[in-house]
Amino acid sequence: MTVLVNPTALSDHKARDFKMLIDGRWESGAADPIERVAPSHGVVVSRFPTGSRNDAERAIAAARKAFDQGPWPRMTASERSAILLKAADLIAARAEELAFLDAIEAGKPITQVRGEIAGSVDIWRYAAALARDLHGESYNTLGDGTLGVVLREAIGVVSIITPWNFPFLIVGQKLPFALAAGCTAVVKPSELTSGSTLVLGEILQQAGVPDGVVNIVTGTGPEVGAIMTSHPDVDMVSFTGSTGVGKLTMSNAAQTLKKVSLELGGKNPQIVFPDADLDAFIDAAVFGAYFNAGECCNAGSRLILHKSIASDVVNRIAELSKAVKVGDPLDPSTQVGAIITPQHLEKISGYVAGARSSGARVAHGGETLDLGMGQFMSPTILEAVTPDMAVAREEVFGPVLSVLTFETSAEAISIANSIDYGLSAGVWSRDFDTCLTIGRSARAGTVWMNTFMDGASELPFGGYKQSGLGRELGRHAVEDYTETKTLNMHIGKRTGWWMPQTEKLA
């Protein structure tokens, strides 16, 4: 592990003051603003309005009016598509500004965030293309007297709630598809990392999105999020975050039976057989465990290794982990940045301590790092982990890799599927039959074969079990923000009624 320190990088940075967007107007909150302290440098870098229940209600009212009376749902698909494409170009033009905000507010490595912004641009362009592909169905096969048409209509007002770990990328997995369908939205970014989403509001205005179509309210979940998930004028909720808050979101939405899309936690296994390309796997294991400091629902946080190779693989992963560069997120060579809050760092350390006390051994790392700025965790490998340990079953959300072992394929599958999560999984073997067997048996929304954490805008993303409901991305992503309506049309003279006709009674 290489430590990169530059404690003066933000010493001259002036904290940026933001406003929230309601019905096309930029507003400050009535209460004192939320001050975001950079997790990497310990200085205030942003101030966000502290949104209230009233602010959330006004934003919902604006979105409702824009949907019921405004032009956005009534535009042609090509008109909406053109605006989304313009937004994508404007995102690309402001990529460095957006990357800087996510880096300092979330502690993410700047090089990584630049890649995320580029990925977001592609998603917005993909959503723009899907806008023009949205269509219904017709049935001319129901007999001479009936024609059936199935319409797809925008579902209405969508509440979008996003987390702190991928502030700009995740709003891009939701909002452009809702807009492509013709919906209006109220967006609540995490109160820790609201900056880039608020800049997105400026971009959408510049691209030509009408007032009230996109509203952005900053604040806490209990004050703002609770209203967004329970208000009767909201038709759908799209939430990404922890499984616990996802359950609360679902409970709130149940009050008015809203449609709910949830992308939640993960405890993702990588199953490795003796015939795997271990050189490729070692690199993927390090990347999968430490990417985004492990603060990633898709992190490859469980290695399930065949016993015959476990010792050698752990030694090789530990050796490569020594080269991982931890430190200042603004250094382009940094690979692992800061942990989001001191409280979260304490939680991660608690999992490591609990695993040790339960009999696990630290093969690498295991300690917090004092770099003289912010809060950091060393990349950590725990071996001799058993399936019943908390560190093997619960989402640590930090750069901590748990190593388990197996002897048979059936045992590997059993370990992989034994927990409450089912977001993603990986399998490594040169035998494609083995890969397909594991891939079809793993209870996970995505299974990577001889790779890990690859993705594309065209591929659906979401989880099984307590990892969520629904899917984001992919060719059906716009359809998720629609309702279907059946038009059943009678043609010609009506016949066959059980009630006698008037003329027959005369």
Q: Could you give the residue numbers annotated as active site?
A: 263
How far is it, in rounded angstroms, from Cα 205 to Cα 214? 9
Beta-carbon contacts of 138 under 8 Å, excluding residues fewer than 6 positions away, are 147, 148, 149, 150
Burial of 276 (0-12, 13-18, 19+ CB in 10 A): buried
Residue whose C-alpha is closest to residue 450's, from 279, 292, 265: 279
Residue whose C-alpha is closest to residue 187's, from 153, 233, 235, 237: 237
Amino acid at 158: V
CB 105 within 8 A of CB 167: yes
Residue whose C-alpha is closest to residue 292's, from 102, 420, 122, 118: 102
Q: Which helix (H) or strand (E) holds 112?
A: helix 110-131
Amino acid at 313: V
How far is it, in rounded angstroms, from Cα 114 to Cα 334? 13
Residue 501 CA: distances (Å) to CA of 145, 376, 491, 495, 506: 18, 82, 18, 10, 9
Q: In what order do the strands lie in the sheet with 146-154?
A: 137-139, 146-154, 482-490
In terms of DSSP bridges, do strands 259-263 and 236-240 run parallel, antiparallel, or are they unpaired? parallel
Residue whose C-alpha is closest to residue 323's, from 283, 382, 363: 283
How far is it, in rounded angstroms, from Cα 241 to Cα 445? 17
Max intra-chain CA distance, the chain: 98
Query: Which pair of structure tokens corresponds to residue 127?
Result: 């959503």
How far is it, in rounded angstroms, from Cα 450 to Cα 435? 8
Burial of 469 (0-12, 13-18, 19+ CB in 10 A): middle
CB 252 within 8 A of CB 293: no
- For the chain, give percent helix, strand, coil, nearest 5: 40, 20, 40
Query: Which pair of structure tokens corresponds to residue 32?
Result: 């004192």
How far is it, in rounded angstroms, from Cα 34 to Cα 458? 37
How far is it, in rounded angstroms, from Cα 271 to Cα 274? 10
Q: Where are the alpha helices (DSSP H) in 238-370?
A: 243-254, 278-290, 310-321, 342-357
